[in-house]
Structure 1
């Protein structure tokens, strides 16, 4: 019986050796999987860093392009502002000229109205055929006889002269 118990013991220790060996195999398999996972994680992290760096590089290029475009827009805006200021200055000058010409036109219309009123009423020519109030100037005066006669005759042939602001438009 000792033989059988010895044999049983030896087969029992042989079974423990087999289970120890399988534990080592299992531990090696787990270590191998852990290493693969670690390598895979490192590779994934490297790819992630590369993607982030590439994205950062693309953003930096975009920032450079946007800054360049912004500078161009600012330059265009400055040129446009300067042109606007020039046009505004020219417009102010033109408005002043329009005001001056309108004033002159009003004065000329008043003179024409005065002359037409005096010609119609007969008050423009004096007793000797001289313009009323201009007799002292003679032929060399501001208004001579031929000018007064022309005004008197032209008034009788056509309606009175009137200047218009529309004449100044172009």
Structure 2
């Protein structure tokens, strides 16, 4: 029995030192894992910050682009309104000129008859047709 107790006492000190070694290894692995986790978290924060910075730069660029588009749109709208006003004036003048031409054609038709060409009346009259002052002013503005 003495040998068993001495044999078991030999195991206990060995078991104690092995336990301490195992505990030290586990502590070392735990510290290494904690350091690894901290480094991974740091890299994750850096990636997140870089992504946020990139998004903020993109927002800034998009705002700038949007401002330029709005400015261009406003200029185009102003130009469109000017052209539309000019077209309206031209349509009105076209209608007025068509009405005058129609009236002149009716006069020529009444004077010359249906068989005579309206242009023959001009050669018979031998006097120039006078333009109204508003047509002359329009002609002067466009040239």
What is the TM-score normalised by the length of structure 1? 0.65
Structure 2: state its 5+ residue gaps: 127-143
Give distance in 1, aligned partners of 2:19 and 2:4: 22
The structure with the greater share of residues assigned to helix is 2
Give distance in 2, aligned partners of 1:54 and 1:48: 10
Q: Which residue of 2 aligns with 1:101?
A: 97
How far the C-alpha of 1:72 sits from its partner, in A, is 0.4
Deviation larger for 111-120 or 90-99: 111-120
Q: Which residue of 1 aligns with 2:83?
A: 87
Give distance in 2, aligned partners of 1:9 and 1:118: 149
Give distance in 2, aligned partners of 1:112 and 1:45: 97
Task: State yes or no: 1:51 paired with 2:24.
Answer: no
Task: State yes or no: 1:19 paired with 2:15.
Answer: yes
Q: Which residue of 2 aligns with 1:69?
A: 65
Give distance in 2, aligned partners of 1:118 and 1:76: 58
How far the C-alpha of 1:48 sits from its partner, in A, is 0.4
How far the C-alpha of 1:119 sits from its partner, in A, is 9.7
Alpha-carbon RMSD across the aligned residues, in angstroms, is 2.3
Larger radius of gyration: 1
Give distance in 2, aligned partners of 1:34 and 1:87: 78
Give distance in 2, aligned partners of 1:13 and 1:75: 92
What is the TM-score normalised by the length of structure 2? 0.77
* Structure with more contact order per residue of length (Cα contacts < 8 Å, sep ≥ 6): 1
Deviation larger for 12-21 or 50-59: 12-21
How far the C-alpha of 1:115 sits from its partner, in A, is 1.3
Structure 1: state its 5+ residue gaps: 121-147, 155-170
Task: State yes or no: 1:115 paired with 2:137.
Answer: no
How many residue pairs get aligned? The number is 121
How far the C-alpha of 1:8 sits from its partner, in A, is 4.4
Name the CA shift for 1:13/1:72 in 2 (closer, same or farther; >3 Å). same
How far the C-alpha of 1:89 sits from its partner, in A, is 0.4
